[in-house]
Amino acid sequence: MLEPILLSLKVALAAVVVDFLVGLGIARTMARKEFPGKNAVESLIILPMVLPPTVLGYGLLILLGKRGPVGNFLLETFDFQLIFTWWAAVIASAVVSFPLMYQSAKAAFAGVDVTLEQAARTLGAREMRIFLTVTLPLAWPGILAGLVLCFARALGEFGATLMVAGNIPGKTQTIPLAIYFAVESGDTDGARNLVLVITLLSFATVFWLNWWSRNKLQAWKKGGACNAESQHP
């Protein structure tokens, strides 16, 4: 029972890293830039949130399979088959959970006061330094919330993972897959234990996010009250 738990944590954390690296620039661009076709692009980004996971899995299978453009390139160039590996599970989880991270990060970037960035530019700061020292710290609470939700969603991903990674014990069998096949084989005790584990993990993730958000809001209100008192003795 330990192997699916460890693999699920490994896949979910890797998916969070992928979504963070890919999504940060996309979210900032979509929050600040206007361009023709922006609505269509954003609809495509959010589409994995509403499509059935099996549909996403089929699309990834066509893309990453031996005859797909990405899968064939990797096989011919590096002799590496992506399908039915834990990396395929990471990609499936990252695609399914990406909209959650994107939406939170986009809202966080949109909420950053642009006058602060302009002030940094007038002082001669380069764009990368402005992003790292001004924009990112101010947007970080919203980004972190998106990453936590992304982790929780990746932890429970099933349909797309099954199609592109399969159910290989010790290699690609995550908790949701292990639960499904335990029920199929009549192992109700094993299924029940895994259900309890993933429920506790998901609950702990969401509970921590709510606790952190509430404390952050209280600290912000307290700081605002202190500033108001100092201005009006």
User: Mean pLDDT of successive 10-residue segments in the chain (233 residues)?
Assistant: 91 96 93 91 93 92 91 90 92 95 94 91 90 91 92 93 91 94 92 94 91 76 52 52
pLDDT given for residue 221 in this prediction: 56
What CATH number did the domain enclosing 125 receive?
A: 1.10.3720.10
SS3 per-residue string spanning 12-77: HHHHHHHHHHHHHHHHHHHHHCCCCCHHHHHHHHHHHHHCCHHHHHHHHHHHHCCCCHHHHHHHHH
Number of domain units in the chain: 1
pLDDT at 60: 94
d(CA 174, CA 155): 8
Domain with 78, as residue range(s), is 2-231
| pTM of the shown model | 0.87
